[in-house]
Structure 1
């Protein structure tokens, strides 16, 4: 089956590899335009664009998926189906109508839970014990199309969004190719999503990574893991921002929210419930380091504390 793949970030690459290794004919990729990155704001191509360039595969980078020139080229390519993983832009009906079998999206949740841009982060924030991935046919309503297939994945106590997303991307690539196989064979039926249990995963912003030490230790632990590695969890000390790696809740509650207690090997911080032990810290302009090494350098005084609300 002729396919045109749409995707942008690294998380799309396992599916690209799986499709390229399958019997399906990958004739082009669609990805977001090159974007300014870093201090110099240099234009950088997406990981999907780089993957295609290395293999000599045609790459389409429309500003909007409804651009007439893009739609004309898509019709010329005549894909039977367009698999999608984290493309990052809305698809108008004019684009959805081009392939005979539509656009089949791999979404990293068990729909209808966590429709939207950041399903893995929101699953961790909410303390979900199980998440997964879903293949479905794209319709105009956000992540609401009929479902082809589902897989589930247990959320581990130490999962960050990065680690969990990597597992889902790998497992989901197999699900996506299997879905394409059955779509081609005509022996699969997309079933409407349940009207119950829909939840929405809005984009995680930088401020969502701000640790509020007045929250319970369990909530702080989930927030930090959900925001690792992106956009990063952070707190402030004397007005200066510090990034934080995952923490470990302890059995004690000896400290006030945000209060710092450091010894030779550990750094503990108070919360609304039990204290947490810090893992790594990254002060502004420096590399990440073990929290104990940071404490030996700054030597926090007795009673010193991170700002309780961030």
Structure 2
């Protein structure tokens, strides 16, 4: 299968590839100690965690950041089920393959949908979760991105969408990446997100399948009845100025999950790891300290 060259930060650690039941994925690994697995969102990859991973690793944790097949991955997975439950099963397969236990998940954006599905399907290896401004309830996709998901569902349009988004001047508009951060994402990081789908028809096919089959709030609403039975410690860390999934959704998550705590982070929109990586790192590290396995 065709693979696209890596553009990820060295902060993420060593790069590895693993053959799972339904496809091969790439992941990054650094640090030692109890494992923390970082779950990115749609049209992003592990590189979005480049400024959080070093802080958490320095606090005494092994940090693992996979490139999940959500549109910015490098290795096509044509046999994978690219719905949120399917990607959750792929992530569970990775945890099994690496024999990780006592895992902390840190999820952002639509990675939070994957984490919600994992908690309701294969929770045994997961001990605690951080939901950092995530899609949930009715907000999958967020309203501002309805146009994108509708466009990608039209046959042949995915390539046009990826070509449009590559234009630097368009990346800060209200219907692209603009609402996701208060500050522009660096050009090299944007390239790491967008070049795989521009350069590979197979990656675009994966992207189209995920949107067509998986981006639907049916999946986020289906897991809600299970929330009351999830007693693992959960940190709901929300951007106070999130314009895509407003803070009311974070409050709702914290209310519905029995062992959840809500923390608000200032001066950030949805991508906390881009706008406020140090503040996010601090609340994650404190949460890990408070809920360490004795």
Task: Give me the TM-score of the superposition, normalised by structure 2.
Answer: 0.36
Which protein shows a greater Rg?
1
Q: Larger relative contact order (C-alpha < 8 A, sep ≥ 6)?
A: 2
Higher share in helix: 2
Higher share in strand: 1
